[in-house]
Amino acid sequence: MKLLITGGMGFIGSHLVDKLSNSNNKILILTRTLSKKSNLKPSKNITIKKINLTNFQKVGTIIDRFGPDVIIHLAGNTSHSKSFEKPLQDVDSNTKSTLFMLEKIRQSKLSCKFILGSTFIVIGKPKKLPVNENTPCNPTTIYGTNRLASEHLCKIYHEVYGIKTNIFRITNSYGPREQVIPNKNAINFLIHQASNKRVLNIYNKGEFFRDLIYVDDVINGIYTIIKKGKDGELYWISSGKKTWFKKFASILQKQTDCGIKFPETPRYTKKVDVGNFVVDNSKLKKLGWKPKVDINSGIKKTIEYFNSK
């Protein structure tokens, strides 16, 4: 199988490439920079092209030359705060890039499946839990809005033109190789802080919960969708479990002896925060997938990774 993976050196992308990299597959990765090259194990089945996805003409030529069976679109801005700093860039890298690739598949009449990586952020603050595939979406950030627009484009291209699309939405995921910046993935940032025995800042006294999923479970979920996903469908990839932040902080404290502080929640966070979040993952489970890594061992593996660096 020929797989084109945009953002294949990033957190999710590099783990997915590990899973898919075997002699039956040819993988082409599109990446903006080579800054995350150390995430990848070299393999003769993998080709890397350094390109900004918003250079649509070049991306089109690459797709024509490679002739992928599957495109997995993971690249784009993945930080909600950066989407407010550079809102027009967010439209280009998150929405227009999706539209361009769908239109390319249509115009070139490629029999290629298009799989979009999306996020729980598209939901906004849910009115009812657990969230599922039918929950209304009211995103609170520009990033969430552009990902949601991309999701709609996938549905439209499937329904109007018959393009084979799938969408997966990931909840808060964590594990080795994730960047450790507070404005991208707070979970991994806190695990990293704890592994360095820093004092953790936990908002709202930890009185809120999220649906945390370890990266290996995410990758097996994406793999299941590649193999068995029904055309046109959206799937959630989540643990289906509530993790209270006070419990998360206490696991980190037990495993690392770090400190914990409970400061006032900043104004920006209050405005965009989605609050309590948990997802019903039964649709993907029906395809034979299930999450396997519990929170204690997921955190332990992530800390071991940080300590080995």
Ligand X SMILES: NC(=O)c1ccc[n+]([C@@H]2O[C@H](COP(=O)([O-])OP(=O)(O)OC[C@H]3O[C@@H](n4cnc5c(N)ncnc54)[C@H](OP(=O)(O)O)[C@@H]3O)[C@@H](O)[C@H]2O)c1
Per CB under 6 A, 80 contacts ligand X: no
End-to-end CA distance of the chain: 34
Per CB under 6 A, 165 contacts ligand X: no
Per CB under 6 A, 237 contacts ligand X: no
Q: Answer for the pair 3, 69: CB distance below 8 angstroms, yes or no.
A: yes
- Near ligand X by CB under 6 A: residue from 3, 5, 10, 142: 10
Judged by CB under 6 A, the number of residues near ligand X is 29
Q: Answer for the pair 229, 165: CB distance below 8 angstroms, yes or no.
A: no
- Which stretches of the chain are assigned E, i.e. beta strand? 2-6, 26-31, 46-50, 70-73, 113-119, 165-170, 172-174, 199-201, 209-210, 212-214, 233-237, 243-244, 259-261
Per CB under 6 A, 175 contacts ligand X: no
Alpha-carbon distance of 63 to 293, in angstroms, equals 36
Alpha-carbon distance of 106 to 174, in angstroms, equals 35
- Near ligand X by CB under 6 A: residue from 21, 68, 76, 102: 76
Per CB under 6 A, 36 contacts ligand X: yes
- Binding-residue pattern over the window 12 to 31 for ligand X, x denoting contact by CB under 6 A: xx----------------xx
User: Which residue reads 């769908």 in tokens?
Assistant: 102
Per CB under 6 A, 298 contacts ligand X: no
Q: Is the dihedral of CA 286, 292, 295, 301 positive or negative?
A: negative
Residue of this chain nearest to ligand X (CB atom): 10
Per CB under 6 A, 302 contacts ligand X: no
In 3D, which of 173, 179, 164 has the Cα closest to residue 233?
164
**Residue 165, phi-psi category: left (phi > 0), alpha (psi -120 to 50), beta (remainder):** beta
- Please report how close the Cβ of residue 65 comes to ligand X at its closest, in angstroms: 17
Q: Answer for the pair 103, 71: CB distance below 8 angstroms, yes or no.
A: no
- Residue number with CB closer to ligand X (138 or 262): 138
- Please report how close the Cβ of residue 299 comes to ligand X at its closest, in angstroms: 14
- Binding-residue pattern over the window 115 to 154 for ligand X, x denoting contact by CB under 6 A: --xxx---------------------------x-------
- Near ligand X by CB under 6 A: residue from 25, 43, 45, 52: 52
- Near ligand X by CB under 6 A: residue from 98, 135, 166, 173: 173
Per CB under 6 A, 96 contacts ligand X: no
User: Which residue reads 């609170």 in tokens?
Assistant: 140
Per CB under 6 A, 32 contacts ligand X: yes
- Please report how close the Cβ of residue 23 comes to ligand X at its closest, in angstroms: 25
In 3D, which of 203, 206, 205, 181 has the Cα closest to residue 192?
181
Interacting residue ranges for ligand X, rule: CB under 6 A:
7, 9-13, 30-33, 35-36, 52-54, 74-76, 78, 93, 117-119, 147, 170, 172-173, 179, 185
